[in-house]
Amino acid sequence: MLVNLRALFVRLIDIVLLRSGPEQLPASPGLLTIVVAMNVAVSAIVYSLLAKPPLHWQLQLLVGTVVTLVWFRVAFGFVNKPERFLQTSAAVFGTNTLFVPALIPMVAELLPFLEKPEPTASPPALLSLLAAVLGIWLLTVQVRIVRAAFEWHFIAAIIFIFGMNFASALVYGMLFGVPAKPG
């Protein structure tokens, strides 16, 4: 079991370093279940360790996970490539799991500067730069995964990723409403 997890970790690192694609992962429902559970668990641990976690992060995590799975399932059905769902979803959730421990705390630290912009207080430049670099790297990895899985141009893959994130926010807003701004 430990050998299998190590092999999975090495393959995910190769995907993150842009040395391989989702086709290197086994097409296994069990693997997808494990990777999604690891993503949710790591995200929950990181959120619970934050001093000021976002409101309703549990619901956001649940909605984001379900929407991502449905988004890929529907998209692969639409392009008539359902056999690629397991590998691609495992690659997306697995690589995301590697970025979560760094990105969530950075975004949590920068969020107050976005919610209440004050002309006298600017966000920490180094943290902003590091968060931007990691965010762009994650986007690049996800775009490469989508490009390889769907055999699309990179512009279509970028639109697909942004559409998935927009759909997640839209579903969350429709189910739970937009939180009121503190007055």
Q: Is the pLDDT of residue 182 over 70?
A: no
Tokens encoding 99: 């970025």
pLDDT band for position 21 (50/70/90)?
Answer: very high
With pLDDT > 90 as the criterion, what percentage of the chain qualifies?
67
- What pLDDT, on the 0 to 100 scale, is given for residue 52? 80
Tell me what the mean pLDDT of segment 32-54 comes to: 91
Tell me what the mean pLDDT of segment 3-23 comes to: 91
pLDDT band for position 117 (50/70/90)?
Answer: low
Cβ neighbours of residue 178 closer than 8 Å, sequence gap 6 or more: none
Q: Burial letters for 19-33: b for 16+ Cβ neighbours within 10 Å, e otherwise?
A: ebbbeebeeeeebbe
Range with the poorest average pLDDT among 8-12, 79-83, 107-111: 107-111
Say which amino acid occupies 152: W
Tell me what the mean pLDDT of segment 118-141 comes to: 89
- What pLDDT, on the 0 to 100 scale, is given for residue 179? 62
As a whole number, the mean pLDDT across the chain is 90
